[in-house]
Chain A
């Protein structure tokens, strides 16, 4: 097993114009909270709120591209959105292995995303399988 309990990983992500516009272009979620500055401000936010599921895209990148093996598949994940993410926010992503299940080649991570003010914007758990 190439992973050990307690192994830690860090990545840095930016919710760029390209990411935001690409998400809307692909998934067509143009809810005004995400696309209308005035609407979002009226609802108490600082500006357009980025789609929470953009963070799931970052998670996909982390699992698919940042681990020491490409032989991975996501079994399950859960995520809680704690605070709004805005355009061009820089996010610090941290993940730690909290479970290794060698009998079924499964690994469980806990993770969180923090913004530039170190406020947690999302956190959760993700379980992956190591495929042979």
Chain B
């Protein structure tokens, strides 16, 4: 899948999970840039992304992410 398409689908997951139609994420977006992106929401986002792409992350992978771009790298590395 093209990276832009993955970003688009992940953005839709953010909109749904955060219940905020205005959320726009980019490669450089971090949790600090999105007000509703707290620790509990982070869990919901990860679960929703794992379900959507039918993949599983490890806790080590999640802890290594510094921004959305690194999350996308991880998704792509799983063959998406």
Contacts and interface: CB of A to CB of B under 8 A. Distances in A.
B44 A103 contact: no
B50 A103 contact: yes
B62 to A, nearest CB: 5
B56 A102 contact: yes
Contact of B57 (A76, A103, A108, A129): A103
Interface residues of A, number: 12
Given A75-B40, A104-B46, A99 B56 contact: no
Interface in B48-80: 50-51, 56-59, 61-62
Given A99-B51, A101-B50, A103-B50, A129 B59 contact: no
Interface string A19-30: 000000000000
Interface of B: 40, 42-44, 46-47, 50-51, 56-59, 61-62
Interface of A: 75-76, 99, 101-106, 108, 127, 129
